Amino acid sequence: MKKLTLKKMSLVIATILATQLSSCATTTKDSVSGVSRSQFMLLPASEITSMSTQAYTQTLKEAEKKNTLNADKAQVERVRKISNRLIAQVGIFRPDATQWKWEVNVEKNDALNAYCMPGGKIMVYSGLIEKLNATDDELAAVIGHEIAHALREHGRERMSQAYVQQFGLQALGAILSKGTSAVVGSASMQAAGMGSQLFFALPNNREQERESDKIGLELAARAVYNPDAAVTLWQKMEAQGGAKPPEFLSTHPASANRISELRALTPKVRPLYEAAKAGK
């Protein structure tokens, strides 16, 4: 009976610790976009960044072997110019991000896709540019959206949630108390093994998508890119869908509601765009 009581107590303590942890972490500073939600961040940021960097490096090596990495020089220069203007604004949301080892590459791939991995590793697929005939403003909208995911560490958040679901509160409680049990050791090894697979396999939830829409829109406006382009971008995305939605939309759902929300957000960031445009 005593053993059962201790087990229940451990779960209660672990639950309390988990609740406290989830309520004390927010990755970005509040701004015009109004994103300030507290986030559940169990796994260390350094571990997630390390795993992401390894995965990104492997992606570059594979693309080089296929001669699909940065195949179009003019296209790469264009994407990097747009990305660098957006990156120059990240300090508004988190000053430490200005010190990230940002990297921007383009892969020749017909998929309508782009992503920014934890730590600032950006990849844009040529299909996104060519099939949509995307303007600079529209590219800024999608790249800004992806940068926002990295700034908010949505990948780390998703992986932390998946970690608890996979290994339970027992492992969580032991980690928080700096335990070294076999359960924790096994869980840590398995978590490391999941690495980038979890990053790509776990879709962003609706709240994370809304946050990235808001921050991405503000990043673009501050970088002197027309915020109206976010609406035309998603309209073009939806038009490409047909019977099967583009890969990008499988994890970045576009809908009439989303476009409506973007239209509602635009007036908030338009003064930033106008001010940045006037001072350019």
pTM for the full model? 0.81
Looking at per-residue confidence, does 145 or 180 come out higher? 145
Identify whether 3 is part of a domain.
no
Indicate if the pLDDT at residue 13 is higher than 60. Answer: no
Angle ∠(151,111,86) on CA atoms, nearest 5: 30
d(CA 185, CA 181): 6
* Strands 103-107 vs 114-117: parallel, antiparallel or unpaired: unpaired
Identify whether 25 is part of a domain.
yes
Per DSSP, the residues of 151-220 read: HTTHHHHHHHHHHHHHHHHHHHHHHHTT---HHHHHHHHHHHHHHHHHHHHS---HHHHHHHHHHHHHHH
Q: Which domain holds residue 232?
A: 12-280
Indicate if the pLDDT at residue 280 is higher than 80. Answer: no
d(CA 72, CA 12): 57
Whose CA is closest to 252, among 266, 232, 269, 234? 234
d(CA 190, CA 176): 18
Identify whether 72 is part of a domain.
yes
- Ranking 70-84, 85-99, 177-191 by mean pLDDT, the lowest is 177-191
Identify whether 85 is part of a domain.
yes
Instruction: Give long-range contacts, CB 8 A cutoff, 24+ apart: 18-22.
Output: 18/42, 18/164, 18/169, 18/172, 18/176, 21/176
Domain total of the chain? 1
Query: pLDDT (tens digit, 9 = 90+) per residue, 16-71?
Result: 444 444 445 789 999 999 999 988 887 788 888 988 899 999 999 999 999 999 99
d(CA 231, CA 260): 8
Q: Residue 190's pLDDT band (boundaries 50, 70, 90)?
A: low
Query: pLDDT (tens digit, 9 = 90+) per residue, 201-215?
Result: 555 678 888 999 999
Asked whether 170 and 183 are in contact (CB, 8 A), the reply is yes
Identify whether 271 is part of a domain.
yes
Identify whether 2 is part of a domain.
no
pLDDT given at position 74:
98
Mean pLDDT value of segment 237-250: 61
DSSP-assigned letter for residue 107: E
Looking at per-residue confidence, does 235 or 251 come out higher? 235
pLDDT given at position 258:
82
Identify whether 32 is part of a domain.
yes
Identify whether 88 is part of a domain.
yes
pLDDT given at position 4:
42
